[in-house]
Structure 1
């Protein structure tokens, strides 16, 4: 075989059949969006169209049983992803470092970024009305391609649904495409560290 594929980029997708958890999380996320004054202030100051608890609350699994239940599910899926991605953890497990709520209004987007100081990142989708916007993933080789001709697969668009879980290594650049939905998209994002 003259050509081999080297250094694959792993992306994990699961559909969690947890309707009761989705309902609990939807209520909890919307309550936080209404009550978290610091989060609303940060969102407004940083041009976030909607609400995020990213810079305001760091104890959601201790604060609300729905987030504690979600964390238990995430721990199992992250362990599976880490094994499938070939991460050598030396017998240790990745630990949840941060978890935050996103309630994105119609027209909202999140520009390209990565998650430094983490090993695995992801998003669990709670409410995904039609037109919410896909997760756009960027080929990590893009900055090095320089004079290379265009190629298929430079960007991959992952379309979520309620109950979808996406996981990726934190160095993978990604963005949230603009929402054309008529309702808010609700998700919970998180980082795991080694």
Structure 2
């Protein structure tokens, strides 16, 4: 009798963030980007296309109440995902470590990376114009497939080397922080805006 099973699953959580004012969040992102001199200087010095507050601001929920409303919703989603992952948190909890804005203009990319020292990472989507890039997720076993042939184009999703997820405005995506991911080039003439975050075990 033949038995073939899938082992060592990589989970991806996708849901609607919850009730929030999308227009207010979008306006707040632009307002912060306009006033964040340190962030803009960092982006220029590091050849980061567009704007990110990752290296400059750590208090978005304090600055704008809309971000606190977002965090309140994220806390619920992260708790649900942690339960799905069957984490034994040992009477501790996952708490927000940092949250930041990403504004990618036409031609902007965010190269492949992971989020070290965090447990769960994710993004919620504020502005996704037609042609804006999806999120590209990489099979974490890729470096061990040294002599493997490529997969068929119509291979099952769990067997693909890369999976592209095209979220909508208001979606939240969560994954374990070790999962390598990237944002391919924004082919839209308009900005792609997202808010990313990390949760740690405390």
Greater mean alpha carbon deviation, residues 81-90 or residues 125-134: 81-90
After the TM superposition, which residues 18-29 of structure 1 pair with which residues of structure 2 at under 5 Å, given as runs? 18=19, 20-29=20-29
Q: Distance in 2 between matches of 1:80 and 1:15?
A: 13
Which residue of structure 2 lines up, in the alignment, with residue 128 of structure 1? 128
Q: Distance in 1 between matches of 2:60 and 2:22?
A: 15
Instruction: Give the TM-score, by structure 2 length.
Output: 0.93
Q: Distance in 2 between matches of 1:171 and 1:11?
A: 12
Q: Distance in 2 between matches of 1:44 and 1:183?
A: 20
Q: Report SS of the residue matched to 1:162.
A: coil
Q: Answer yes or no: is 1:192 the counterpart of 2:199.
A: yes
Q: Answer yes or no: is 1:38 the counterpart of 2:45.
A: no
Q: Report SS of the residue matched to 2:21.
A: helix
Which residue of structure 1 lines up, in the alignment, with residue 149 of structure 2? 149
Size of the aligned set, in residue pairs, is 193
Deviation for aligned residue 1:161 = 1.2
1:71-124, CA deviations, whole angstroms, 9 ceiling, x for partnerless residues? Answer: 000000000011101221112220000000011111101110000010000000
Q: Report SS of the residue matched to 2:106.
A: coil
Deviation for aligned residue 1:15 = 2.1
Deviation for aligned residue 1:17 = 4.8
Instruction: Give the TM-score, by structure 1 length.
Output: 0.96
The two structures, once aligned, show a CA RMSD in angstroms of: 1.1
Which runs of 5 or more residues in structure 1 are unaligned? none
1:16-50, CA deviations, whole angstroms, 9 ceiling, x for partnerless residues? Answer: 353x5211110110001111000001111111111
